[in-house]
């Protein structure tokens, strides 16, 4: 969170919980926050005219985090900005994808999903599916992604906003790497090619007689008297 006024850091979780409750119309308490802290040194906060240091917030419940993040439009018109913290690898992938598809067509959904979507009678599975559908998304993986001697569960998802560009989706068994199946999808991307320019000479309107005359008028024998290769 960028723009939350500085205050007593000892009650920062309560401050953030109250702020979120007021801005997002949600019942959030300090108990819903795993931990939070101001980024930057306290010396920065003491400097007059300095903007308040951003606050990194980690929630206990992922679904609360998602509900807040996808409702960040509630902050429009305020001086507070909500942003997502990505790992270095996720950030690089995001930048590469944004370059290809454009910033407006790229979003990230990451983390551990431990709800088995194959357990159709489960209230948690229905809750997760409802959240995905409520944002116009679709979960593509249909087969188990974690298989043990006694269980077979679908807990690794691929969630997309446009199924039409997905060419293929599948899982790969890689027991030497993980006890989870590796999930992947292939999408069709129209990459705009960079324009290339080629300079050519057009001889369609060449006056061959004049060209021949010009060549004959050049003192070619003088080339033997020139010692500089560049001048030749």
pLDDT category at 61 given cuts 50, 70, 90 is: confident
Please give the mean pLDDT across all residues of the chain: 83
CA distances from 132 to 76, 139, 142, 155, 229 (A): 24, 7, 15, 14, 72
Q: What is the CA radius of gyration of the chain?
A: 31
Domain positions in the chain are 1-85, 87-219
C-alpha–C-alpha distance, residues 91 and 112, integer Å:
17
Residue 136: CB partners within 8 Å, gap ≥ 6? 161
Full-prediction pTM beyond 0.75? no
Joined together, the tokens standing for residue 208 give: 């061959």
Distance CA 199, CA 202 (A): 10
Are 82 and 66 in contact by the 8 Å Cβ rule? The answer is: no
CB 172 within 8 A of CB 186: no
Give the phi and the psi of residue 44 in degrees, each rounded to 5: -65, -35
The pLDDT tens digits of the residues spanning 168-222 come to 999 998 877 788 889 999 988 776 778 888 888 888 888 999 989 988 898 888 8
Residue-wise pLDDT tens digits, 116-159: 999 988 888 888 888 888 778 889 999 999 888 899 999 999 98
Axis crossing angle, helix 62-69 with helix 123-134, rounded to the nearest 10: 20
């Amino acid at each position: 969170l960028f723009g939350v006024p500085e205050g007593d850091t000892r009650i920062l979780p309560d401050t953030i919980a109250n702020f979120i409750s007021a801005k997002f119309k949600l019942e959030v308490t300090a108990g819903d926050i795993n931990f939070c802290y101001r980024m930057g040194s306290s010396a920065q906060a003491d400097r007059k005219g300095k903007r308040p240091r951003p606050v990194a917030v980690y929630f206990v419940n992922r679904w609360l985090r998602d509900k807040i993040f996808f409702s960040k439009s509630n902050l429009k018109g305020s001086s507070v900005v909500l942003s997502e913290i990505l790992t270095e690898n996720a950030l690089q992938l995001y930048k590469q994808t944004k370059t290809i598809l454009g910033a407006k067509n790229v979003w990230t959904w990451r983390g551990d999903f431990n709800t088995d979507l194959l357990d159709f009678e489960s209230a948690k599975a229905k809750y997760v599916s409802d959240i995905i559908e409520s944002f116009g998304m679709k979960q593509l993986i249909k087969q188990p992604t974690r298989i043990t001697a006694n269980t077979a569960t679908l807990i690794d998802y691929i969630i997309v906003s446009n199924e039409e560009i997905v060419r293929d989706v599948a899982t790969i068994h890689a027991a030497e790497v993980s006890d989870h199946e590796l999930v992947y999808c292939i999408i069709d991307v129209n990459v705009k090619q960079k324009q290339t320019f080629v300079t050519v000479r057009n001889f369609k309107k060449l006056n061959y007689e004049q060209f021949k005359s010009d060549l004959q008028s050049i003192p070619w024998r003088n080339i033997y008297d020139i010692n500089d290769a560049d001048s030749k």
